[in-house]
Structure 1
Amino acid sequence: MRISVIGCGYLGAVHASAMAELGHDVVGIDVDTDKITRLSQGRPVFFEPGLAEVLTSAIGSGRLRFSTDIADAAGAQVHFIAVGTPQKQGSHAADLRYVDAAVQSLLPHLAVGDLVVGKSTVPVGTAARLADLITASGSGATLAWNPEFLREGFAVQDTVSPDRLVYGVPAGEAGEHATGLLNEVYAAAIAAGTPTVVTDYATSELVKAAANAFLATKISFINAMAEIAEVSGADVTQLADAIGFDDRIGRRFLNAGVGFGGGCLPKDIRAFTARAEELGRGESVAFLKEVDAINLRRRQRVVELAVSALAGPVYHSKVAVLGLSFKPDSDDVRDSPALDVAVQLRGLGADVVATDPQAIDNSRARHPQLTYSTDLEETLRDADAVVLVTEWPEFRELDPVWAATLVRTPTIVDGRNTLDAAAWRAAGWTYLGLGRP
């Protein structure tokens, strides 16, 4: 099929590359000239495992190209809208200016039978409004909403082999037409048995909001239990293991720690709350404000543990911070708990040296006041305390005996509860976890 992808940021670049790798003829459109130049050369503008290989392969096959001219989208049968929906300045609501601009710019290039497909995460009610706009244009095109469920670090895999497909389509023949085209786009995934839910616009929009809200709630729940464990002497990791055996609960995402971050989860639950309030049902999701508050408190708790772990004053004590991205296998530092912890410690007067396998450049662009190192040994050397805040494999597998030979004081704060506490203590370390004795 001939496909256009409007917006070549994280979502769009991955989607365009994966669709081309699946055999479709794809053009990616973005207004950022530098981004388009780099993508055209097969160079991703962010780190995502497997993307460089898929991007290079798709460009080499001739099935993928990039452009800054929206007119190059003309002739495609399906047009994916994959632009960002950041949090509005001074508000929790989603900023829809980029979605609106993308659809407006696309209108003159639509033809009868074309399908515009929203993938961006938007407040419920957005699709219906945009559908009216497309209908009023007289283009004869149809709108569908097809939310993305990508996990950073697994985005290529999640696009090629999704765990479910959701289509929000209009009623009647237009909906049947939209469903038919989307089934062609995702033919490989459907043939592999991927569950498909065909529903209305509002439900498809709420699926993404509800999924993120539920995930955030589960993470904050176990972090709330960590707060109780810390004052009662319980072990939150064993608690999570025990309740995780219950099939109704499950063990995944029950790891207490510094909390969630990134460019999606925090802003999406805030936007969901803001939209519910606009609809007069703010009380229905009022608990999400506490979910957000618990999440932010855990960052402060890691800072408190690091300060308490220092043998002397914070001022000019060297603190080695391991991790800057919000999660491993990513260079994304948007709303990153790890970077936030490093900045807070620096603000308290500590001499912070931070390292990360991928996120140093992005971190330096946001917080040049920090000291960064690409060398783990240099980061650890003469440290008065070590704080692990992103569970990259090289940090999880760090040899505590070797690390103890480098630091000034063998004290570590495990902000992800990912280390073997017994092994670190046996190597002479003072080990501090979250919600653990």
Structure 2
Amino acid sequence: MVSVGLISTLIMMLFLKAPVIVAMGTSVAVGCWLGDLPLYLIAQGVIDGSMSWSLLSIFFFMMAGNIMDVCGVADQIFSFANACVGHWPGGLAHVNCLCSMVFAGISGAAAADCAALGPIEIKSMTYKGYDLRYSTGITLASSMVGPIIPPSVFFIMFGVVTNTSIAKLFIAGIVPGVVISLALMLVCARISIRRPDIFPRGSYTPMKERWRIFKKSVWSLLAPVIIVIGMTSGSVSPTEAGVVAVLYSLLLGAIYRTLKWNALWNAVRDSMIMAASSLILFGFASTMSYILTMEMLPTKLATLILSLTQNKYLVLFLIDLLLLVLGCFMSASSAMILLTPILLPLMEKLGVSTIQLGVLMCFALTIGIATPPVGMGLYILADITHQKIEEVFEGFMPFFPALVVMLIVLTLVPQISTWLPNLLMP
């Protein structure tokens, strides 16, 4: 009864388009009322749920990404990627994918990728004669690797919820992120060959010019490398890596002489607002998880599903479908915090690696950034390009099948997610 009332309230609030934090807070209050639990449990849950050293890294990585954004790091990354692959068929589309891979190692968020790289990439592509809708579509599709390649805010939250090594989760996202980007590049090459009017070939950059651009952008390219190597070597924890990222972003601002005091304050302020929202959300989710666990909902759900089928791949595909649908209506982090405590007991009984579950949840929910009605990436790029939401979504659709295929591959081949972390951190 308590679980039904809590979940029904949450669904109703979300259907009424209430903010996720308000919906979760209200549903938790209803759960406490139905379960005859003291209301101070909510405040206690918010405090206890957000008091994690690892969650502090969310603020640092967000701030590092925001500072690097105002320092012009995205321009440096774009220039180098364009010099390397801009002459390929559909060159700037490949540049788009490579930029997202590198920038993901700085921002850790798909929305940040769209907002920072989108104006640069789409302006350059349309100037070179690329179709606007398809240019926007590949920008949106390539941003999907943002939360997968480390550092990832999603993986930090997932690691705290499941008590999994955040460093392992970070490493687990490297290979899937690269493979997803390569799949999108194959789609770009196919479109360029069949429709050169949409994705034309760019001009070749001489090696001497490439070397000059590399020397200018090397400091920006080193940012994700420093973060990943620091964590895989055990030199720093994820939280300490976030501090290192902030210090390095300030160093980049000094090197490029592009960081202003006003921009720095705006970056810090925006990071504080986003991190505070995440912590409150995490606290409400912890209380909700406590109530649902007390009602034994995760155990009952696992028993019910296992009574129907014990084929783990069938269960995983059903979960993938559920995540894709939820991603249309909720942010990835909100859905992850809600679902992980419920799904984890089921995955453990099926023998599914927690690392693989984290990667699958991250990718499946991130696809929601490109799907209406809530898809944040759609609204960001529609605002940047002055297009309708329908036009942005139409440009994204040729790349959607490749993303779904990659989700299926990651589901069927867990080694893509687990091989590298098991190798580097056995």
Greater Rg over alpha carbons, structure: 1
Using structure 1 for the length normalisation, give the TM-score. Answer: 0.24
Using structure 2 for the length normalisation, give the TM-score. Answer: 0.25
- The higher-RCO structure (CA 8 Å, 6+ apart) is 2
More helix by share: 2
